[in-house]
């Protein structure tokens, strides 16, 4: 199994050390303003390089974001990070230092709504507010699908006067994933009999498959898996053998996984088009209409301003009921369907909308 994230990128991935040189240059070129760097909390070497630049240019380092705090704390305890004493300060202490004495490391490189950087960008963070001319570095690339959220955060920071540096402007990030030449090297070194590309969208997996074929692995020995597929491996062979339940588990109130596709479809229908309830009272034996039809509308139209529409709807239902009576049909389920079809056709002709229609027949 091999990581496919950069399988469509040619060449080699740049060294992580190259980012440190860019940080050094930015710190040198920003002697007077506060510097804020957003990066992945899991990238300990990147954090070390940020701290090194801050120490070199006599800045204190404040850390925000729960995952970043936990990562730094644990890395210091395990001696993975080498940070001089009194370099790290609590975020509550930043008010005691001038802007040119501060560097802030934060989470939120993917524009996550509740991350520290997103809250700072939207002026919702309790301890950090964006100042004009703050230098904010987003040291990450966008994960496929997150582009809109990241652009929103960058736009908000720019609106508040910050100078934002991101991957498209400077080399402030190198990927943590192997490119094509490194992937080919792994295939050449390991010479797998069976190969399963992992990690990435299907287009990345597919690119990795083509690489493997070019390295001499037979197509029938390469498995492009979808979520839920089962790969069965034995002493002699490997094959896809069925599927297992997979995907999102929906939680609603106290129920876990009990909201099915039909319920979701109904909720979506209600949210988009609203509801019309038709109430008719009928005599059980003869099928005569004793009262109604009364129509109740929710989320469809405001009844008091749509009297003509409602009168027309009642007439359409009444005509359909008389038609049922004419054909001497007394099956309530059949009558409900006739009401539903007649009202649906009328409403669509008049409004080009399709609210959920719920017929209720009261038996007397």
Query: Where do the DSSP E strands lie in the chain?
Result: 2-3, 35-38, 60-63, 88-89, 102-106, 135-138, 163-165, 197-198, 229-233, 238-243, 251-252, 255-256, 275-282, 289-298, 356-363
Residue 360 φ/ψ, nearest 5 degrees: -125, 125
Strands 238-243 and 229-233: antiparallel
Q: Is 125 a catalytic residue?
A: no
Q: Is 177 a catalytic residue?
A: yes
Distance in angstroms (rounded) separating the CA atoms of residues 141 and 110: 8
| CA-based torsion, 208, 213, 216, 221: positive or negative | positive
Residue 169 φ/ψ, nearest 5 degrees: -100, -40
Query: Do residues 345 and 276 lie in contact, with contact meaning Cβ atoms separated by under 8 Å?
Result: no
| CA-based torsion, 277, 283, 289, 290: positive or negative | negative
CA 184 to chain centre: 31
Q: Per DSSP, what are the bridge partners of residue 102? A: 60
Distance in angstroms (rounded) separating the CA atoms of residues 51 and 43: 13
Query: Do residues 325 and 290 lie in contact, with contact meaning Cβ atoms separated by under 8 Å?
Result: no
The catalytic residue among 3, 173, 204, 208 is: 3
Cα 205 to Cα 3, 176, 200, 218: the distances in Å are 9, 17, 6, 16
Query: Do residues 116 and 107 lie in contact, with contact meaning Cβ atoms separated by under 8 Å?
Result: yes
The catalytic residue among 173, 177, 204, 208 is: 177
CA neighbor of 353 nearest in space, from 317, 306, 300: 300
DSSP letters spanning 41-89: TT-HHHHHHHHHHHHHTT-EEEE-SHHHHHHHHHHHHTT-S---TT-EE
In this structure, how many other beta carbons lie within 10 angstroms of the beta carbon of residue 42?
11
**Active site residue ranges:** 3, 177
């Amino acid at each position: 199994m091999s990581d496919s994230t950069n399988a469509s990128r040619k060449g080699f991935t740049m060294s992580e050390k190259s980012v440190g040189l860019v940080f050094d240059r930015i710190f040198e070129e920003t002697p007077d303003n506060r510097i804020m760097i957003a990066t992945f909390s899991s990238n300990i070497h990147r954090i070390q390089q940020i701290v090194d630049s801050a120490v070199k240019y006599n800045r204190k380092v404040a850390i925000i974001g729960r995952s970043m705090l936990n990562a730094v704390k644990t890395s210091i305890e395990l001696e993975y990070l080498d940070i001089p004493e009194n370099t790290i300060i609590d975020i509550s202490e930043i008010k005691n230092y001038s802007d040119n004495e501060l560097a802030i490391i934060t989470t939120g490189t993917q524009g996550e709504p509740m991350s520290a950087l997103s809250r700072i960008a939207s002026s919702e963070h309790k301890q950090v507010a964006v100042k004009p001319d703050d230098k904010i570095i987003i040291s990450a690339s966008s994960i496929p699908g997150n582009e809109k959220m990241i652009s929103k955060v960058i736009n908000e920071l720019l609106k508040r006067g910050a100078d934002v540096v991101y991957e498209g402007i400077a080399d402030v990030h190198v990927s943590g994933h192997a490119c094509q030449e490194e992937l080919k090297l792994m295939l050449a070194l390991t010479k797998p009999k069976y190969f399963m590309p992992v990690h990435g969208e299907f287009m990345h997996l597919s690119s990795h498959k083509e690489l493997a074929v070019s390295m001499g692995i037979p197509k029938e020995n390469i498995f492009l898996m979808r979520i839920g597929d089962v790969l069965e491996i034995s002493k002699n062979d490997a094959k896809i053998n069925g599927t297992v339940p997979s995907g999102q588990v929906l939680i609603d109130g106290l129920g876990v996984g009990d909201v099915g596709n039909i319920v979701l479809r109904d909720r979506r229908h209600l949210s988009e088009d609203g509801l019309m309830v038709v109430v008719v009272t009928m005599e059980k034996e003869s099928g005569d209409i004793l009262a109604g039809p009364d129509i109740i509308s929710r989320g469809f139209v405001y009844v008091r301003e749509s009297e003509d529409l409602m009168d027309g709807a009642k007439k359409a239902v009444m005509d359909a009921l008389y038609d049922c009576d004419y054909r001497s049909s007394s099956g309530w389920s059949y009558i409900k369907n006739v009401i539903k079809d007649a009202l649906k056709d009328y409403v669509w002709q008049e409004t080009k909308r399709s609210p959920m229609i719920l017929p209720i027949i009261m038996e007397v």
